Chain A
């Protein structure tokens, strides 16, 4: 049993650790959680920390991810997905075939531990990544195309055989690649502007259509953008009398 003073101090320490949880979770549950910890402390003494610390390390990331996903708009969720896909591709390229089992294990671990992000449940908002993937499946492809153009642009600076290629080739690739990524980020806030930039940025991939993979990606991006609604601007409101 802990003395009253020690128990108060330990409860205050636990209460301070609750700051790790998202604000909305803290607002609703920090008081009962601290109270519960105090009850456990009175019963089991300092040994309660042996349970509380693993509990914190397990539940804080879960609540954080859930809170972030609930707060993000579809566009931002898509950007997160795109980031994950591009990161996975970068790891694959960097590590070669050895990355495949690592990525597969990471994917399965996320799928198991964060099933709510993907699973279809009673409420649509409980499957944020699934909703994002269904509504904007093409965005990771666009992100991949954008990153490839940026990487190609940087490579061209060093690899082109003449100054014209170095300056114009790299500038064009960097501009189009940057435009694609900027368009993806802009789209959640201004769909028309974002989509316009994304489609414009597919020009190099379509122009060099004999390099088959980027051309196919660009076509898929076009299909995705056009099928998900190019503009969501509502008609102008009628003038007030």
Chain B
């Protein structure tokens, strides 16, 4: 696969997609990402620290996100926190994956698809 090709990534693991979507609204630290993922998924996806940072590690290696150099104002937040943001590739991969899922939902919900009835085993 070629590096930098968004089409080479989907389907993404659930955690990766949720993190990409959470970071679409701007740079965030780990806890903020985790909270946003919970809100985005109505509480259905609850990541632990291992899942979150394991995914972040792989996403950094794949060039989907990057750690920002700037640190928050010490009065506003803990300076030790690491902030992450989407790269150009990460943004393109996020869009490609969401389009794929949209197409899937559209197709799955269409009456044509629901009418397709597969005969059971033994039926003529």
Please say whether chains A and B are actual partners in one complex. yes
Tell me the A121-171 residues at the B interface (CB within 8 Å): 121-123, 126
Closest chain A residue, CB of each to CB of B64? A122
CB–CB A32/B46 < 8 A: no
CB–CB A36/B51 < 8 A: no
CB–CB B62/A36 < 8 A: no
Q: Which listed residue (B51, B63, B82) contacts A32, Cβ 8 A?
A: B82
CB–CB B46/A51 < 8 A: yes
State which size class the interface on A falls in.
Answer: 20 to 34
Give the complex CA separation of A32 and B29 in angstroms. Answer: 9
Contact string, A47-58, partner B, CB cutoff 8 A, digits 1/0? 000011011101
CB of A226, distance to nearest CB on chain B (Å) = 31
* A29 on the B face (CB < 8 A): yes
CB of B124, distance to nearest CB on chain A (Å) = 31
Closest chain A residue, CB of each to CB of B58? A116
Contact string, B53-79, partner A, CB cutoff 8 A, digits 1/0? 110111001110000000000000010
CB–CB A32/B1 < 8 A: no
Q: Which listed residue (A21, A31, A36) contacts B34, Cβ 8 A?
A: A36
* B95 on the A face (CB < 8 A): no
CB of A40, distance to nearest CB on chain B (Å) = 7
* A232 on the B face (CB < 8 A): no
- Would you list the 4 A-B pairs with minimal beta carbon distance, nearest first? A55-B48, A59-B50, A33-B49, A29-B53
Contacts A/B (CB < 8 Å), 19 sampled: A21-B50, A25-B57, A28-B57, A32-B49, A33-B49, A34-B49, A36-B34, A36-B49, A36-B52, A52-B48, A52-B49, A55-B47, A55-B50, A56-B48, A63-B50, A120-B1, A122-B1, A122-B2, A123-B3
